[in-house]
Amino acid sequence: MINQADDLSVTFAALADPTRRAILARLKHGDATVKELAAPFKISLQAVSKHLKVLEKAGLITRGKDRQLRPSKIQGDALGAAAGWLEEYRSFWDESFDRLGEHLR
Amino acid sequence: MINQADDLSVTFAALADPTRRAILARLKHGDATVKELAAPFKISLQAVSKHLKVLEKAGLITRGKDRQLRPSKIQGDALGAAAGWLEEYRSFWDESFDRLGEHLR
């Protein structure tokens, strides 16, 4: 079972980094190895590996068993739990857009 | 204009704490003073004030001008931006639920 409080904290902390979010954005288009992930970011393989470890620990990705390549793959459950938490606040941002709309009219 | 990368990091970092999320959950039901926010959590006013500063810096709340009470109020825009970022990954968690559904059948 998911421990809501702790898991959400770990999820949000893992997402609080632009490189880790960029890695997830790349993985949206398909699984990728460390080398493939490092290429567009122009950061070292070690730096990418470190970010992947954070993402894996947070359950946001899993990594393949192939000892050399270990391709990373997005796991959606934690992202879904975070989205579910935020969804409870929808009225607050819809309201902001309503106010913006009123302002523009 | 919102600087997506930085603002999202600050938002997710602010949300990566169970007490701060609990404060936001309380504010969902209406604006509240530090004293009102501290009561259910059984933590000091100072600890609550510290959390409110983080939430305010992240743009997740604003605080009233009344020098003594300064009631806190949810600001939805940053929450909406975070939800919008997560929304891009919906297929990954919907897929998980699909697989769970298949498993249960």
DSSP chain B: ---HHHHHHHHHHHHSSHHHHHHHHHHTTS-B-HHHHHHHHT--HHHHHHHHHHHHHTTSEEE-S-TTT--EEE-HHHHHHHHHHHHTTHHHHHHHHHHHHHHH-
Q: Residue A21: list chain B partners with CB under 8 A.
A: 5, 8, 85
Q: Residue B103: list chain A partners with CB under 8 A.
A: none
Report pTM. Answer: 0.85
Closest chain B C-alpha to A4 CA, distance in angstroms: 9
Closest chain B C-alpha to A25 CA, distance in angstroms: 9
* Option in A15, A79, A93 nearest B93 (CB): A79
pLDDT given at position B1? 39
How many Å apart are CA B34 and CA B46, to the nearest integer?
9
| B43 Rama class: left (phi>0) / alpha (psi -120 to 50) / beta | beta
Instruction: Return the percent helix, strand and coil in chain A, to nearest 5.
Output: 65, 5, 25
Closest chain B C-alpha to A60 CA, distance in angstroms: 10
Written as six digits, the tokens of A99 are 């106010």
Residue holding tokens 């000892």?
A: A67
ipTM of this predicted structure: 0.85
Q: Give mean pLDDT in consecutive 10-residue pieces for chain A, a chain of 105 residues.
A: 69 97 96 93 90 96 87 95 96 74 64
Positions of chain B with pLDDT lower than 70, given as ranges: 1-5, 96-105
Element (H, E) at A62: strand A61-63
Residue holding tokens 């959950």?
A: B25
- Do the chains contact at A93 and B74, CB–CB below 8 Å? no
Element (H, E) at A73: strand A72-74
pLDDT given at position A98? 65
Burial of residue A100 (number of CB atoms within 10 Å: 0-12, 13-18, 19+) = exposed
pLDDT given at position A97? 60
Angle (CA) B20 B26 B29, round 5°: 145
Q: Which of A76, A80, A63, A74 is nearest to A20 (CA)?
A: A74
